[in-house]
Structures are given as structure tokens and as C-alpha cells.
Amino acid sequence: MEITLAVLKPHVCRNTYALQQIKALISSNFNILEAKEVRITKELSERFYAEHKGKFFYNRLTTFMHSGPCYALILQSEACIQKWRHLMGPTKVFRAVYSEPDCIRALYGLSDTRNACHGSDSEASALREIAILFPEFKIN
């Protein structure tokens, strides 16, 4: 079965209600292989988002990701990557609100950067990102 990395961003972790709702949604859709609160340092956040280096939002994004604890999970299900990305909704919150008003980003996103959550976009990204946030995790 497929696995993916999900990260709940700092503003969501400060919002007890949002965190509880999203965790419940995750539990009802996936096997949770690992889950932990994680403090992402600026260096780790720059490695994690290396593909966006040079974009106008890179510094804003990496600074935001280490502004407080995040919550990271390794999820497993059939077609897990697509399934989690569908539950998250579009990257841009204004699009999410208009096109998929029940998705996580429409409900809990605050801006294009503070868009509530992250999900790996491919199997290769999932492996790379899991190795960064869960270095001790062994992939079978």
C-alpha cells in the first residue's frame, strides 16, 4: 500500500479545534504509521522546500514553517498521495474556498503560505520528505 507524508502547519497546531477535526478526518481515512509534533528548524525547512528556492515566497514559507511546532504524520492507504491531496484541496486558499469549500485548506487556511497543511506530491517526494522529518523510519 502507498504511503505519504502529511504536515499540519504551525497555525493549525495552535488551534485545538482545527487540530482535533483534522486528526479525526485523517484517522477515518488512513492508517497512521507514525505521528509526532515536530519543531522544524529554518535549515530543515529550507531542505524540505528546496524545490522552491528562489521563488518569491520561499523565505516567507521557510520562516513560517519554523515559527512554531508542526504536526507530521506518515499515512498509509490505497492511493494515499492523491487521497490526502484531495482532502487538503487546492494550494491557494481563495481557490479552495470557491471550488471545494469542505476541504481542509478552505476551512483552516489563512493565506497562500499559511494554507494549513502539506502533502507529498509523488512517491519520490514522499520518500524524500519522510527521510527529512522521520529519519528513523524504515521503509519496507
Binding site for ligand ATP (CB under 6 A): 52, 57, 61, 91, 112-113, 115, 118, 121
Strand partners for 8: 71, 117
Task: Report the site for Mg ion in 97-136 (rule: CB under 5 A).
Answer: 121
Measured from the CB atom, is 14 or 140 closer to ligand ATP?
14
Which listed option, Mg ion, ligand ATP, none, makes contact with residue 113 (CB within 5 to 8 Å by class)? ligand ATP
Q: What are phi and psi of 38, to 5 degrees?
A: -135, 135
Distance CA 22, CA 84 (A): 11
Least Å distance, CB 9 to ligand ATP, is 7
Is residue 118 part of the annotated active site? The answer reads yes
Residue type at 138 in one-letter notation: K
Q: Which of residues 13-72 bind Mg ion (CB under 5 A)?
A: none
- The distance of closest approach from Cβ of residue 120 to Mg ion in the complex, given in angstroms and rounded to an integer, is 8
Q: Is 115 annotated as contributing to ligand binding?
A: yes
Catalytic residue numbers read 118
